[in-house]
DNA sequence: CGTGGCTTTGAATCATATCAACTGACGTGG
DNA sequence: CCACGTCAGTTGATATGATTCAAAGCCACG
């Protein structure tokens, strides 16, 4: 919301030089259209990505042909980082809307680690926060009823959209198909449809074509057994023992 | 297996000084007994941990009382890192066996980032690898049948145990209760029991009390729709653009 | 009287059956 | 791509008993 590099700065204040350096990323600015694939699972890992605008899904293919979406990315997110630990990309990145993003050479990340410890710490803590998000996603995909999963996802998404300033009047754009939703929640698209209609009938949300409004946040929350994320921003560098740094 | 700090060195070669520095961790060596809780969800985040011996589960509590185990940690693993991005710990760490571990002050990590970029990169890539592992776990918890989930977990565990030198004669110790297994796979303990017995009857595995042997690896693999991890070690620092470094 | 070894007891774990509820599969049309 | 039926298969809920394990208590012997 505030800075384009909020995912990094949220933990660690950056020097002007560091910000200037990161801004060079924008030279590799690209656009993509809905349904474009940014990078496919199995591709060599030459780049990571910084999402400027639009929605992107990150998914895994399974040998039986099923697909598991592991994360819905929103503007400001860093994409493709997990695959840095792999020889070949472990995740497919698909554009869910028209998008705008930067491609960042992987070698650039190594240079940043040497030259800007603060950036390194920011990237590191950002990765840890993503791990927390994944753990929570696992917790509701694994345990609750399908209606609960749907509600939990919508709540989480709502909060993330809100933090990105993409919620107006309790409503937001909805580019996901029910097939996407099913692949994300680990259930069939048909059942997703059933549950989505059922949730609609509760009146807690209202679906208006490619737009969704949250009518009763409290009611929505009552459907999910998972707790709202105990996340806290503004921790990290100081906590990490470098108070006056940078 | 090779080095105690394999999780870090697997990506980045470390200088002798760095290794000496990391070895100081051992001064805070501690032991714990089965069922002990190392750290509870909600506790302030003062430390991270390095597991020397034994098994540890990392789990999330949900408001309906259910518990989701998100990872089974084995010797050599780094514990508690995701919570560095949070004010209060987001995960509970429970000893599944008697254990031996080091407690590392969180501030220490920040100092390492400043003084040893190679260690920073190693920790960073290790975190990314953990993200990949979580994504894969999500992919089988979310999608496959309960028997498939069980098989996928056993396969993954087997490979990790093997890498840690904890497999002998295709068999390994089994300290998990069926309740643990259910909490991990997102199903009831009763159903876990059903599926475990069913898997046993296929003959692909043999349960012998607190010990399990894999009889037919290929058969086991045929039960799971998820693909074996496309992981590759020995990537990273060079790839990250610092070839001759350290 | 103190200590070692045996026994009792209770909790935790595993096995199994039955029935209800949830979810997936298939088909059809808008 | 979404809506809506029907039916079959999977999974969850509840109940009950067997078995294992460990801690506490007891007894006999030194």
pLDDT of residue B242: 52
Record: contact A70-B135, CB cut-off 8 A: yes
Residues in chain A with pLDDT values less than 50:
233-236, 241, 243-246
Is beta strand B56-61 parallel, antiparallel or unpaired with respect to A29-32?
A: unpaired
In this structure, of A13-17, A48-52, B111-115, B234-238, the range with the lowest mean pLDDT score is: B234-238
Whether residue B72 contacts residue B157, with contact meaning beta carbons closer than 8 Å, is answered with yes
Whether residue B216 contacts residue B203, with contact meaning beta carbons closer than 8 Å, is answered with yes
Q: Give the closest residue to A96 by CA, choosing from A135, A150, A59, A49.
A: A59
Where would I find the beta strands (DSSP E) of A63-158?
67-73, 78-79, 92-95, 99-105
pLDDT of residue A234: 44
B158-205 tens-digit pLDDT: 999 999 999 999 999 999 999 999 999 999 999 999 999 999 999 999
Flag residues 128-187 of A with CB < 7 Å from strand C: 145-147, 186-187
pLDDT of residue A242: 53
B61-81 tens-digit pLDDT: 998 889 999 999 999 999 999
Residue A203: Cβ-neighbour burial (10 angstroms; 0-12, 13-18, 19+): exposed
Q: Report the distance separating Cα B12 and Cα B238, nearest Å.
A: 8
pLDDT of residue A2: 63
Whether residue A98 contacts residue A31, with contact meaning beta carbons closer than 8 Å, is answered with yes
| Positions on chain C within 7 A of a protein C-beta | 12-17, 22-27
| Positions on chain D within 7 A of a protein C-beta | 1-5, 10-15, 21
Q: Which of residues 63-82 of B touch A (CB under 8 A)?
A: 63-64, 66, 68, 70, 81-82
Closest residue in A to B69 (Cα) is: A139
Record: contact B85-A236, CB cut-off 8 A: yes
Helices (H) and strands (E) in chain A, counts: 8, 11
- Rounded (10°) angle between helices B146-163 and B178-185: 110
Q: Is the dihedral of CA A131, B152, B175, B191 positive or negative?
A: positive
Q: Report the distance separating Cα A111 and Cα A134, nearest Å.
A: 28
Does residue B218 belong to the interface with chain A, where contact is any CB pair within 8 Å?
Answer: no
Residue B8: Cβ-neighbour burial (10 angstroms; 0-12, 13-18, 19+): buried
| Cα atoms found within 13 Å of the Cα of residue B14, Cβ hemisphere only | 25
Q: Is A240 helix (H, G, I), strand (E, B) or coil?
A: coil
Does residue A222 belong to the interface with chain B, where contact is any CB pair within 8 Å?
Answer: no
């Amino acid at each position: 919301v505030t800075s384009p590099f909020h995912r990094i700065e949220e933990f660690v204040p950056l020097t002007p030089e560091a910000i200037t350096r990161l801004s060079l990323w924008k030279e590799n600015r690209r656009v993509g259209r809905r349904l474009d694939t940014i990078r496919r699972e199995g591709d060599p890992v030459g780049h990571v990505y910084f999402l400027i605008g639009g929605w992107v899904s990150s998914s895994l293919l399974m040998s039986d042909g099923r697909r598991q979406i592991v994360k819905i990315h929103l503007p400001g997110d860093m994409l493709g980082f997990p695959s840095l630990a792999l020889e070949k990309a472990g995740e497919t990145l698909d554009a869910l809307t028209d998008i705008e993003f930067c491609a960042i050479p992987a070698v650039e990340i190594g240079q940043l680690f040497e030259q800007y410890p603060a950036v390194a710490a920011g990237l590191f803590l950002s990765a840890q926060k993503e791990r927390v998000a994944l753990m929570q996603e696992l917790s509701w995909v694994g345990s609750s009823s399908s209606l609960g999963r749907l509600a939990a996802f919508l709540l989480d998404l709502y909060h993330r959209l809100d933090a990105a300033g993409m919620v107006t009047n309790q409503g937001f754009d909805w580019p996901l198909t029910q097939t996407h939703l099913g692949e994300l929640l680990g259930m069939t698209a048909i059942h997703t449809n059933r549950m989505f209609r059922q949730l609609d009938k509760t009146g807690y949300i209202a679906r208006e074509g490619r737009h969704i409004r949250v009518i009763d946040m409290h009611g929505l929350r009552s459907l999910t057994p998972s707790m709202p994320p105990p996340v806290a921003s503004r921790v990290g560098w100081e906590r990490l023992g470098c108070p006056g740094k940078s």
